[in-house]
Chain A
């Protein structure tokens, strides 16, 4: 049973932030991607993950499908991908500097605030980080977790 992360981080619109954004964009495949790939693979809680920038360059978007509780997952991200999130929060309009955000509570609360609910309702009556019914997420494999699926593929 996976949850969906729809993290929409508003990006500051000043020239310096946009330059940094362009830098992330240009170097993502060689610099960030291998680190994410390793952390995601080792974690065995991530089904899928992608990051993108909206065409108006106003949002940095992280979309994932993951197993486990929201609070656990946020801590996994913070502790295992600090470089990526440092860059994202440096660009972000609102949550504060990375030094302020880089702790269990503030990181979770910031990620909760930036989460956009998917339309519809969870078929498993899962709860979002506000204890409300989570939005709809199609599950082709039922509620199976990554840890259950991987051995079946061997």
Chain B
């Protein structure tokens, strides 16, 4: 039960950086030796340990996909692809479209602007930097290494800009919400967690967890993944104009006596479960409260009908805390609601108003966990179908923010109960979020990165 060796863990796993700019460079390995050379060149720059301790310096992390590991010959000395394939679970398969509710416009055939497939992505270099100058310098450094190693860069934009996220109004996302508030508290140093924290084994591979089994669970592959994490890398388009229109059209239905602007804020809060400044509805149901904006110490137990916070609000589906699970899920999740570590940043320029400008914008979301099926995919399934708890009168509802109405059988009605026993139902005619791409990545330990690069 040794403390986690921070020197062996990439910083992205241990926390979010506070840098305002992020960039994700996607590459395909063309030649095994080149790929290894690329890793070996970048290794000295890979950031490890708690990002808060790294100060203002640029942060660089590397994640590898299943096909990337194969292309790099990572398993050559461990029995090759067949042996590895029998050790991993779901990471070595294409993203599960049904679990992602990836229907209609979000269908995998449309992903990555149809320029490449998820399976083409081998290596992602994740950068976080403080300034545009730094962004230029670090990007040049990575691209030069890629060129020397004959790596193929995969670009989603015709203009040739890699996926780049820039903080919008501090910690705000497109749609105006503040993000980065709720994070699972993890005991990184003990197998049996103390102080109500979650076990490190829920997120870091190679450690026990009473909540999830994780794979690979046998050497040599369990050693290979130790101190790493699985990560779903998602590019999510946000239709800001449609969202703003929806708020304007529906807010008066919900709050006819409020001024239009306040009514829109109220509807936006009901959809998220937090006011746009972050204040949880459970702590302040009628107005945002600056003092409570970053609080996360609340639960939904005294709001069984969703009067303060609607049952299907984004955060109430993504982590319903102590709300009862249905019978099937009680057996599947004895430790309670599944959690993931969230990292991410908005991409694309700000848009105000209801006129779409045709420019791509949204969120790069990275969700880290030890068991893709029980953690990441489960949350995705529930966001796309609210059938996990008996509290939902509508068992085919969706999170009103990310819901995909093209998912067969889904209802795009969002019910907002009120104190007097009535409820207002608003209908999403246009979806606000579209999946633009999903890549399943391993965020390996420093040791593993070094070993994979070693033959270069």
Instruction: Decide if A and B are genuine partners.
Output: yes
Interface residues of A (CB under 8 A from B): 1, 42-45, 67-72, 75-76, 79-80, 103-105, 108-109, 124-127, 131, 142-145, 147-148
- B396 contacts which chain A residues (CB < 8 A)? 145, 147-148
Given the complex of chains A and B, what is the CA–CA distance between A125 and B408 in angstroms?
9
| B192 proximity list for chain A (CB < 8 A) | none
Do residues B378 and A72 form an inter-chain contact, with CB atoms below 8 A?
Answer: yes
A105 near B215 (CB under 8 angstroms)? yes
By the criterion CB–CB under 8 Å, are A142 and B409 in contact? yes
Q: Contact mask B101-120 → A, CB, 8 Å, 1/0?
A: 00100000000000000000
- Residues of the A chain whose Cβ atoms lie less than 8 Å from the Cβ of B371: 104
A101 vs chain B, min Cβ distance (A):
13
| Inter-chain contact B387/A103, CB cutoff 8 Å | no
> B97 near A44 (CB under 8 angstroms)?
no
- B90, B94, B381, B395: the one within 8 Å of A148 (CB): B395
Q: What residues on A are CB-neighbors of B378 within 8 Å?
A: 72
A69 touching B97 in the complex, CB below 8 Å, given contacts A79-B332, A124-B408, A143-B409: no
Q: Is the CB of A145 within 8 A of B408?
A: no
Alpha-carbon separation in the docked complex, A28 to B39 (Å): 58
- Residues of chain A within 8 A of B422, CB atoms compared: none
Q: Is the CB of A104 within 8 A of B373?
A: yes
Q: Provide the bound-state CA to CA distance between A116 and B85, in Å.
A: 22
Chain B at the A interface: SS class: loop
B455: Cβ under 8 A from any A Cβ: no
- Does B354 count as interface, using CB distance less than 8 angstroms? no
B16 within 8 A of partner (CB):
no
**Given contacts A44-B326, A105-B89, A105-B213, are A131 and B381 in contact (CB under 8 A)?**
no
Distance (Å) between the CB of A141 and the closest chain B CB? 10
Cross-chain pairs A/B with CB under 8 angstroms, 20 sampled:
A43-B327, A67-B387, A68-B387, A69-B377, A71-B90, A71-B377, A72-B381, A75-B373, A75-B374, A79-B331, A79-B332, A104-B371, A105-B89, A109-B89, A124-B408, A126-B98, A131-B94, A131-B96, A142-B409, A147-B395
Q: How far is the CA of A145 from the CA of B415 in the complex (A)?
A: 20
Question: In the bound complex, what is the Cα–Cα distance between A80 and B213 (angstroms)?
Answer: 17
Give the residues in chain B near A1, CB-CB below 8 Å: 408-409
CB of B99 within 8 A of CB of A69, answer yes
State the CA gap A105–B90 with chains docked (Å).
9
Q: State in angstroms the CA–CA spacing of A76 and B330 once bound together.
A: 10
Interface string of B392-408 (1 = CB under 8 A from A): 00011000000000001
Considering the complex, give the chain A residue whose CB is closest to the CB of B89.
A105
Q: Which residue of B lies closest to A3 (CB)?
A: B98
The tally of residues in B whose CB lies under 8 Å from a CB in A reads 27
User: Contact: B395 with A143, CB < 8 Å?
Assistant: no
In chain A, what residue has the closest Cβ to B93? A131
B328 at the interface (CB under 8 A from A): yes
Closest chain B CB from A126 CB (angstroms): 7
Chain B: CB-nearest residue to A42: B327
Nearest CB of A to B98, in Å: 5
Residues in B whose Cβ lies below 8 Å from that of A45: 328
Q: How far is the CA of A1 from the CA of B347 in the complex (A)?
A: 35
Provide the bound-state CA to CA distance between A43 and B331, in Å: 10
Query: A6 to B124, alpha carbons, bound, how many Å?
Result: 39
Q: Determine whether the beta carbon of A145 is less than 8 Å from that of B327.
A: no
Could you say which of B213, B381, B409 contacts A103, with CB atoms under 8 Å apart?
B213
Contacts of A69 in B (CB 8 A): 96, 98-99, 377, 381
- A143 and B408 within 8 A (CB): yes
In the assembled complex, the Cα of A28 lies from the Cα of B326 at a distance in Å of: 28
Residue among A69, A127, A131, A145 with the most chain B CB within 10 A?
A: A69
Contact of A75 among B327, B332, B409 (CB under 8 A): B332
Interface residues of B in 135-155 (CB under 8 A from A): none
Asked if residues A44 and B215 are in contact (CB atoms below 8 Å), the reply is: no
Shortest Cβ distance from A55 into chain B, in angstroms? 34
